[in-house]
Structure 1
Amino acid sequence: MREQFLAELNRMGNWPAVPVKIGVANGVATGQGNGIKPGDHAVEGKGLSILGTHLYAQRGGDNQIVATLRLVTPPPAKEVPTDDLPEIDGAPGGTLEGFGILADKLNEQSPILGLKTSAHIRHHSFVPSVSAVAIRDVTTDADLYANIDGLNPETSELDHFQAGLAERAAHPDDHGARRLDRRADREPGLGTRWSQPLVEGCDQRTRRVADGRQVRRTGYAQPQTGGHGADSEENTPQALFKALTAQGQQAP
C-alpha cells in the first residue's frame, strides 16, 4: 500500500515543492520496537463456534500463515497465507489495539453464540515512525527500525520532522524546536517566526498573519510587533513544538 501511495504521488509530480512540509509523529524515534516478534500468537478463538481460529503477528517471506479462521464451519480452519509482507506489527511507531478491539467485540456477544476470544497481544504497530515522517527508501524490515533521531534531516521527504512526541511530552526540551528552526537558519529571508494560527491549531492548512495576508510558500509570518505578532513568544518555533508535544501528551 505504501509503494502504491508513493507511485501515485510520483505520478502527480511527487511531494509539493512550494509549501514547507512539516511532519510530526507520536511513534518512537529511537528505533526501539514494541516487543512483538514475527509469528507471535496474538488472538485465539476459544468459543465453540470459532475453535481453531488464531491470528499471528506478521512474518516476512513467502507463504507465511498469519491466521487460521473458522466460524461455525466444520474443522479444519482455513489458513490465510501472505507473501513478502513486512514484519510490521512489532515495528517502532504509533500503535493500535487492533487485536484487543477484535477480542473485546467478540466477547461482548451473547455467550450462546460461542464467540469467546482471548487476545494474547492487544496492540500492534499501526503507522511505523519511518512512514509517519516520510523517511526515504524504506525497503527492508531493518529499515523499519531506523534510529530517526540519528538520521540526517535530508533523508526525509519533509522539510522538518519530529518523531517521539509522546515521549518528549513527558521530557520536554527544545530539540524539536531547534530542528524546526533549521530552515530559517539556512534561508534567513524566509523569516524566523510562526503565524499564530499555526501555533494554536498545529493542523490548520490555511495560515494567515495578523493583517489577513496568506502566508505562502514558507508558513512563516512576517515580522510584526505586539500582541500575537511575530515578535510574540507565542509565535516562535519553540511555542509550536510545545503545542505539538502537548497534543502528543493528550493522545491516548
Structure 2
Amino acid sequence: MTETPQIHVSTKLVEGLGEATPEQIAQLAARTAGRIWFTTPLTGEGEAPKPDQIWTLRGSYPHNGKTATGTAHVYLGKGNRRLQRPLILADGFNYGPSDLPGLWKHFDKAEGGRFLTALREAGTDVILLGFDERHTYIQANAGVAAACIERATAERVAIDPLTVGGVSMGGMITRYALARMEDEGIDHHTAVYFSWDTPHQGAWIPLILQQMAHFFEDFVPEQPGVPKQAELLRSPAAQQLLWAWVENSKYEGPVGTASPLRTEFLADLRARGNYPKRPLKLGVANGNGGGVGLELTPGEIAFDWKKDQLRTATATARIQPDRGEKQPIGGMNIAFTVRRSSTTAVPALDGAPGGTLASFGLVAEALGADVDDRFDFTCFVPSISAVGLAFDPERWERDPFTDLSAIGPEEIELDDFCCDEGNSPHSEPRPVLTKWLVDRLTR
C-alpha cells in the first residue's frame, strides 16, 4: 500500500535565543504587511487596445450561496463589425479582481508571438473574461463563465461555434462550466475547449513556504481592509487547486488533497463528467514534455535567513525532498518559539518539469533573505497536470518526471497538447505554444 503523503511539525521553546523587541517586530511587519504571498502580477509593455464592447456579468448559478460576478472585454476580429467567431479566454489564479488590460498586454507580448493579435488577424473575436474575485470557489466563477458563454451565443451573428478556454485556473473554470452545461442539457455551442498551463490534476506550492506564510503573518498587526500574506493560500480557489495544502504553520498530518474543498470540488467535477465531452480539447503546458526538470537537488537548502546576530527571527527552507520518511524541509522561529518541519512520502515536486513560480524567490524577497538565482523558481503546474495525464488527482501516484513523449494518447485526457521546449514561467506566452495554439484555433 502506498504511504500517505504527510507533514510533521515539532515546536519547542528554546532559551537563549533572545526575545524579539517591538522594533524588530515592526521591521518584520514593514517587510511583509500588505503583501499577499504567491500572487503574480501580469507583465507587458504599452497599452491594451480599447475593447469594442464591455460586458458586466453575473453568474448563471450560485455556489455555496455565493453568486460570483465578472467583466468581459470584447475585441472584434479583423473585418468583423459584430460578434461572429467568438473565442473566450478566462483569467486565472490570483487574488482579487482581474486586470483585463493587464491580461491583454501579458498575452500579446511581441516576444511571445502576439497571441491575441494573431487570433484577431485571423478573424477571431477575442473575449477576455475576468472575475471580481479570482480567489473564490471555482464553481462560483464557472457561473460567470456560463453567463459569458450564453451571452456570446446570443449576440453572435453567424453560426460559427464558440471556442472556450482559459489560462491557469481559468482553464479549470471553463472546463467545469462546459461540463456542467452538458450535464444539465444546456447547449454551449462550443466546438473547441483549450487550456493554457492549467492545473488539471492540481498545482504545487512548497509546503515549507506555505507554513512560513502562516507563521510570519501571526506577528504582523492586522490592518482593517488589508489582506494578510497567507490570504491567497486560505482562499477557496487555492484549497481547490493545490494538491498539497496546509491550513496553518502548526498543522501535522496528510497533505495530499488535505482540504475538504478540494475533495468536494473533484467529486463535483466527476459528477459532471470530469471534462466536457462535445468539444475538441486542446492544451498547452509551460513545462517541458520530455521529463526534464529543474536543476534543483531534493533536500538542499534554498535559503537560510537570520534577522540578526541574536537570531530572534530565522527561516530555513529546503528544496522538497523526494519522498522518504520524515525528511527535513526547513523551519522558522520568532523569539523563543522554534518550529521544524519534515515530510513523508511527498514527491520532489519543486524540481519537476512544469510551469514555474518564483516561490522561494518571492518569499526570500519578502523576508529580506539572500537566495541564489537558481532557487528563485520552482515548479507550480507540473507538465503531467497541465496536459491532463490520466491519474488520480487526489493521490498523485504518477511520477511527475514522466516523459510525455513516450505516453500513448489513451493516457491523456486532452485530445492534443503541446509542451514548451524548457520549463518557463507559469502562463508565460512562448512562441512555440502560441504558434501551436493559433494554428489549431484558427483552422
Q: TM-score range by the shorter chain?
A: 0.5 to 0.7
- 2:365 corresponds to 1:104: yes
Alignment of 1:18-29 (within 5 A): 18-29=278-289
Once the two structures are superposed, residues 173-228 of structure 1 have per-residue CA deviations (whole angstroms, 9 ceiling, x without a partner) of: x8x57xxxxxxxxxxxxxxxxxxxxx5xxxxxxxxxxxxxxxxxxxxxxxxxxxxx
1:166 & 1:57 partners in 2: Cα distance? Answer: 20
Equivalent in the alignment of 2:389: 135
Equivalent in the alignment of 1:111: none
Equivalent in the alignment of 2:336: 74
Task: Report the CA distance between 1:7 and its aligned residue.
Answer: 4.4
SS in 2 for 1:36: coil
Equivalent in the alignment of 2:291: 31
1:238 & 1:54 partners in 2: Cα distance? Answer: 46
Task: Report the CA distance between 1:13 and its aligned residue.
Answer: 2.8
Equivalent in the alignment of 1:55: 317
Amino acid at match of 2:366: K
Structure ranking higher in strand proportion: 2
Once the two structures are superposed, residues 88-120 of structure 1 have per-residue CA deviations (whole angstroms, 9 ceiling, x without a partner) of: 00100111111111111222xxxxxxxxx1224
Asked if the contact 1:95/1:123 (under 8 Å) is kept, the reply is: yes
1:146 & 1:85 partners in 2: Cα distance? Answer: 16
Change (3 A) 1:119 1:7: farther
Task: Report the CA distance between 1:39 and its aligned residue.
Answer: 0.5
2:384 & 2:440 partners in 1: Cα distance? Answer: 23
Asked if the contact 2:285/2:386 (under 8 Å) is kept, the reply is: yes
Q: Give the TM-score taking structure 1 as reference length.
A: 0.57
Task: Report the CA distance between 1:140 and its aligned residue.
Answer: 3.9
Q: Number of paired residues?
A: 170
Amino acid at match of 1:131: S
Task: Report the CA distance between 1:165 and its aligned residue.
Answer: 6.1
- 2:405 corresponds to 1:149: yes
Asked if the contact 2:307/2:314 (under 8 Å) is kept, the reply is: no
Task: Report the CA distance between 1:9 and its aligned residue.
Answer: 2.5
- 2:375 corresponds to 1:119: no
Task: Report the CA distance between 1:149 and its aligned residue.
Answer: 2.3
Amino acid at match of 1:105: A
SS in 2 for 1:134: coil
User: How large is the Cα RMSD of the aligned pairs?
Assistant: 3.1
SS in 2 for 1:101: helix
Amino acid at match of 2:332: L
Change (3 A) 1:89 1:8: farther
Once the two structures are superposed, residues 32-89 of structure 1 have per-residue CA deviations (whole angstroms, 9 ceiling, x without a partner) of: 0111121021121132256542011112133222121112x126x3112223222100
1:239 & 1:97 partners in 2: Cα distance? Answer: 33
Q: Which runs of 5+ in 2 are unaligned?
A: 1-241, 244-256, 258-262, 424-428
Amino acid at match of 1:237: R
Deviating beyond 3 angstroms after TM superposition, the runs of 4 or more aligned structure 1 residues are 1-8, 49-52, 138-141, 165-172
What is the percentage of aligned positions where both structures have the same residue? 31
Change (3 A) 1:152 1:79: same
- 2:275 corresponds to 1:15: yes
Asked if the contact 1:25/1:164 (under 8 Å) is kept, the reply is: yes
Q: Which runs of 5+ in 1 are unaligned?
A: 108-116, 178-198, 200-235, 241-252
1:166 & 1:28 partners in 2: Cα distance? Answer: 5
Change (3 A) 1:50 1:147: farther
Task: Report the CA distance between 1:12 and its aligned residue.
Answer: 3.3
